[in-house]
Chains A and B, each alone.
Chain A
Amino acid sequence: MSLITPEMIKQHNLTDEEYQSILKILGRRPNLVELGIFSVMWSEHCSYKSSRKFLKNFPTEGPQVIQGPGENAGVVAIGDGLAVVFKMESHNHPSFIEPYQGAATGVGGILRDVFTMGARPIAVLDSLRFGAIDHPKTPYLVGGVVAGIAGYGNCMGIPTVGGDVCFDECYNGNILVNAMTVGLVRADGIFKGSASGPGNPVIYVGSKTGRDGIHGATMASGSFDEGSEQKRPTVQVGDPFTEKLLLEACLELMTKEVIVGIQDMGAAGLTSSSFEMASRAGTGIEIDLNRVPLREEGMTPYEIMLSESQERMLLVCRQGAENVVKEIFDKWDLDSSVIGRVTDDGLYRARFDGKEVVSLPVSPLAHGAPVYDRPRRRPADQDRLNKLDPADIPEPPDPSAVFEKLISHPTLASKKWIYRQYDHQVMTNTVTGPGSDSAVLRIKGTKQGIALTSNCNARYCYLDPFIGSAIAVAESGRNLVCSGAKPLAVTDCLNFGNPENPEIMGQFEEAAKGISQACRELETPVVSGNVSFYNETNGVSIYPTPMIGMVGLLDDIDKRLGSFFVNEGDVILLLGDLEGRLDGSEYLKIIHGKTAGKPELDLAREKNLWKLILEANAKKLLSSAHDISEGGLVCALAECCFGAPSLGVRIVLKSSHRPDLLLFGESQSRVIVSVRSSNEGVVCDLAKSHGVPCMPLGAVGGRRFFIGSEKEQWIDCDIKTVKEWWERGFEEGVFKV
């Protein structure tokens, strides 16, 4: 065995202190394989060493929660003995280096996290963040990422039903690809990643192991610079066909009552799956690396342990049931190989060519990673950023031109160019597909439905990480409520810059607090999640982007709400404040080129709004509901008009405020609903009883999109024209066609 040099330690992204504690744990020097194992197990990606301290404070419990954080995914009960399993995960670094494969394997990884729990995946959502639309790399990255997600999800036959996409120059050197998977399982049929029962066989199933993706987890735990493109070989290559077979084989095996524990080989491959499984059970594991199915000859123990080849799982089954496993994987033409067994000594031992090449204690590897209480401080320019005097922002002379520019901006325009490439209907559960506040899926064999959404306005988080993160939670829940669903629980994917920078760590702490408070008050516990640090290139960090994925429940799928206006003559009501704010708004950014101010949120008011909408909907008082978010009141109103057929509106606003604030300003806890005119009074009374401001704005009907005050008209266009701006904006903006 070669001697460990300081260069090797550095190459493995371990600090001197970390190496010293390795020496202390082992009482000897590690060999190179062992050093590699420490490196990935203690990487930020696998160990959460910088974030753990703050994640502890998330509310994770509730009557609906079956499994909180700590397993491969969270599990929440939805009644009828059924449960949903869900989690969101990032694949940012690989997707920037190699967009197609990076995004594809991101989807593949999160799918395995869900079906390893025994659930059949029923939906995928993707939250994507790209750089400025005029950045030269943006079209290439958008095209590659979308094709990669489509290539993987479509082949798997799992619908991609939603997500969100934003463009901002803060992502120029570091895009975000966050994928969320939702699965369905019988509540009594959940599997966990635990290697219990000494003597039980440890079985490797799925694809063969190759040299791809070695040290992916370590790459994801470092920052980018000009040389990053050379890291292309660390990006894994996806094979969705094999994953489809793996999915079916695993689900079939799960009906046979032979599995003791099962876990996918994701980041850090065989190493993390086997260590984590042994750690959860408090056992040890003995592995013969010569039994690992290999794709190429001459692979070393180091490469076998650290490969991140995709579409592989590790399982522990009952002694004597090895043949059952083999039979099923043979049926699906997949490899399966008994590579070792569970032991009771708490040690991890691997042999290769008859020699012991790894002998490590399980617990310190899985749990002994240093927990960092990194220095934190409020970003130096935070106060300056928060200063915004509306008087300094000139009122544009032509609101109509502003409106056109906003509604056709790729961040706000229709994302059909993207979701048309995703099979969003396979499995025949998609009742409301992409393009609405949230996706709605039926649960076959029941009256129920689930609603799914993912969200984060990073500009708000940059201006105020605490409030911005709370807003991400509030808006996600609001999206679900607007579909008629009661929010159940949250998964998150926290994308931040370099945690060794105190300002980034300061942002992280505030964001974690914001999520904690919002989830606690809104009763939506966090059941799973992922942290992605080091999202920076050449020292320039992304805006803090704590993506929130949320799942809600509809007791009766026939009571789902849509965002489109449906009846001519319906009255349009605004629930919430009329005046929006400039702070962090899309309008301020796109029209005035500024990111400034301080967003606000009142959680009690948000909760009242949810109660109001859910109650009004239960009483069948609402025709439609739509959240007001980026682009303010006018963009939200326009989005309500784009149903089939498109319906116009006539809106007269009674306010002495600046028109640009009324039309394009953003503020929280606001929803547009349409109601039969006979229900207007009842809904207004109900709003009053919930303490939610309610104001009639106008009526649905005609072919014009008209908005004005009592004195002047601000916007008056054919609704068809407005829809064309919205429909064409994405492709024109991103691909300049």
Chain B
Amino acid sequence: MANSGIKFGIVVFPGSNCDADSHHVVTRVLGCPAEYLWHKETSLKNSDVVILPGGFSYGDYLRCGAIAKFSPIMTEVRNFARRGGRVIGICNGFQVLVETGLLPGTLIKNRDLKFICDWVDLRLENTRTLFTGKGKKGATYRMPIAHGEGNYFIDPDGLKRLEDGGQVVFRYADSSGRVTEEANPNGSLGNIAGICNEKGNILGMMPHPERASETLLGSEDGRFIFESLIG
């Protein structure tokens, strides 16, 4: 465990439920300092990286993430991100990022309309982001998904911009890295599982790297994302 001095801020919305899981990985597995950021607060408390964790912010009774974007802390997160600060949204956090407009596109109900909790294989498409520097382009990474609305959708122009700009970071694939229809769990356009902004300082992904950072839980494949951030 190397403490690089990078501090993580983990936003807690009412209904966040993967906040403690991210905290565990950052502090216990990677040995970095981390602090929870209550949604009513207006300071990121000198965080170097902001995590928007998974869960059901505000119950997700409206569109997922649609209310969380109005939380006081999100004003700070937006400013931080626009200044080039590193923000990663996982699962519900990804949904919050698209609702906030920090990332393009939207996440709609899974193709079969059911919640899916399962292991998936992901092909890493871009290692030139602040989150994936320690990964291997084209390699597959095994992580869990757990969501009801993770079906990524965007208009054709938007998709072209994402693809041309190398903003697709992860795609659902089979275990040998082939991007196939069968390997797509939720109907996402282009098997997209995770994207970043043009500058590469904001990442949103439906799979849970924090659930795949210890061998005891079945996979360490998600850890490189946190390690890439530490440098």
Contacts and interface: CB of A to CB of B under 8 A. Distances in A.
A545 interface: no
Which of A147, A154, A421, A427 has the largest count of B CB atoms less than 10 A from its CB?
A154
A151 B211 CA distance: 20
A421 B18 contact: no
A557 B217 CA distance: 11
B137 to A, nearest CB: 26
Interface stretch (A204-212, A238-246, A526-534): A238-246
A132 interface: no
Interface in B210-224: 210-211, 214, 216-218
B18 A426 contact: yes
A430 B217 contact: yes
Interface centre among A150, A151, A239, A428, by most chain B C-beta atoms within 10 angstroms, is A428
A151 B214 CA distance: 27
B15 interface: yes
B154 interface: no
A126 to B, nearest CB: 14
Contact of B17 (A156, A419, A420, A430): A156
Contacts of A245: 14-15
B6 interface: no
B59 A155 contact: yes
Contacts of A581: none
A157 interface: yes
B76 interface: no
Contacts of A626: none
A421 B14 contact: no
Nearest to B54: A426
Nearest to A334: B14
Contacts of B144: 425
A329 B164 CA distance: 49
B58 interface: yes
A155 B216 contact: no
A420 B117 contact: yes
A428 B211 contact: yes
Nearest to B56: A155
A422 B148 CA distance: 10
Nearest to A449: B216
Nearest to A430: B217
Contact of A444 (B17, B24, B56, B116): B24
A333 B217 contact: no
A424 B218 CA distance: 13
Contacts of B135: none
B210 to A, nearest CB: 7
Say what secondary structure dominates the interface of chain B: mixed
B117 A244 contact: no
Contact of B146 (A147, A156, A242, A425): A425
Given A154-B115, A424-B117, A241 B210 contact: no
Interface string B1-32: 00000000000001101101100110010000
Contacts of B181: none
B46 to A, nearest CB: 23
A432 to B, nearest CB: 9
A431 interface: yes
B118 interface: yes
B14 A427 contact: no
B18 A157 contact: yes
B116 A421 contact: yes
Nearest to B55: A157
A735 to B, nearest CB: 12
Interface string B112-130: 0011111000000000000
B217 A431 contact: yes
B60 interface: yes
A: interface residue count bin:
20 to 34
Contacts of B54: 426
Contacts of B14: 241, 244-245, 332-333
Contacts of B218: 431
Given A420-B118, A428-B24, A157 B217 contact: no
Given A156-B17, A240-B59, A241-B56, A428 B146 contact: no
B21 A427 contact: yes
Interface in A274-311: none
Contact of A420 (B20, B116, B214): B116
Interface string A13-55: 0000000000000000000000000000000000000000000
Contacts of B148: 154
A93 interface: no
Interface string B143-161: 0101010000000000000
Nearest to A422: B117
Contact of A157 (B17, B60, B61, B208): B17
A425 B120 CA distance: 13
B15 A423 contact: no
B222 to A, nearest CB: 11
A288 to B, nearest CB: 29
A445 to B, nearest CB: 8
Given A241-B15, A421-B114, A154 B59 contact: no
A428 B21 contact: yes
Contacts of A420: 114, 116-118
B164 to A, nearest CB: 35
Contacts of A424: 117
Given A239-B59, A241-B15, A428-B21, A423 B146 contact: yes
A478 B56 CA distance: 37
Interface in A56-93: none
B146 A155 contact: no
A126 B144 CA distance: 22
Contacts of A421: 114-117
A727 to B, nearest CB: 13
A425 B117 contact: yes
A10 B194 CA distance: 61
A557 B59 CA distance: 34
Interface centre among B21, B58, B60 (most CB of A within 10 A): B21
Residue of A156, A425, A427 with most chain B CB atoms under a 10 A cut-off: A425
A419 B25 CA distance: 25
A442 interface: yes
A150 B115 contact: yes
B61 A241 contact: yes
Q: Which 3 A-B pairs have the closest CB atoms?
A: A157-B17, A241-B59, A155-B56
Interface of B: 14-15, 17-18, 20-21, 24-25, 28, 54-56, 58-61, 114-118, 144, 146, 148, 208, 210-211, 214, 216-218
21 contacts: A155-B17, A155-B60, A240-B56, A241-B58, A244-B15, A245-B15, A333-B14, A420-B114, A421-B114, A421-B116, A421-B117, A423-B117, A425-B144, A425-B217, A426-B17, A426-B146, A426-B211, A427-B21, A428-B21, A430-B217, A431-B218
Given A426-B211, A428-B211, 15 more contacts: A155-B56, A240-B59, A241-B60, A242-B59, A244-B15, A245-B15, A332-B14, A422-B117, A424-B117, A425-B211, A426-B18, A428-B214, A428-B217, A431-B217, A444-B24
